[in-house]
């Protein structure tokens, strides 16, 4: 199937980035945070890249959604440091 081929050819990180973009477009900051935490823990992205992703996506999803994502990510990172 086309979907199977897509998954076979794509790397995990690429799929995660696509997923983060789709979640951001929907404005689901809680789901975005869950996926971002998983990506960090699995080493798919680092903290700096996560901040870059949020900054980049804000230009496409709008400031209100981007600001919510940024606040959720800051809270998540603070919790991970404890």
Q: pTM of the full predicted structure?
A: 0.82
Rounded to the nearest 10°, the torsion over CA 14, 19, 20, 24 is 150
Say what the pLDDT of residue 82 is.
Answer: 83
Residue 45 · residue 21 · CB < 8 Å:
no
Say what the pLDDT of residue 5 is.
Answer: 64
Rounded distance between C-alpha atoms, residue 44 and residue 26, angstroms: 22
Confidence at 10, pLDDT banded by 50, 70, 90 = low
């Amino acid at each position: 199937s086309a979907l199977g081929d897509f998954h076979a050819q794509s790397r995990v990180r690429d799929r995660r980035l696509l997923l983060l973009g789709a979640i951001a477009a929907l404005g689901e900051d809680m789901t975005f945070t869950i996926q971002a935490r998983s990506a960090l823990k699995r080493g798919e992205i680092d903290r700096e890249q996560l901040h870059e992703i949020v900054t980049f996506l804000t230009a496409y999803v709008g400031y209100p959604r981007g600001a919510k994502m940024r606040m959720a990510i800051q809270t998540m990172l603070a919790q991970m440091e404890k």
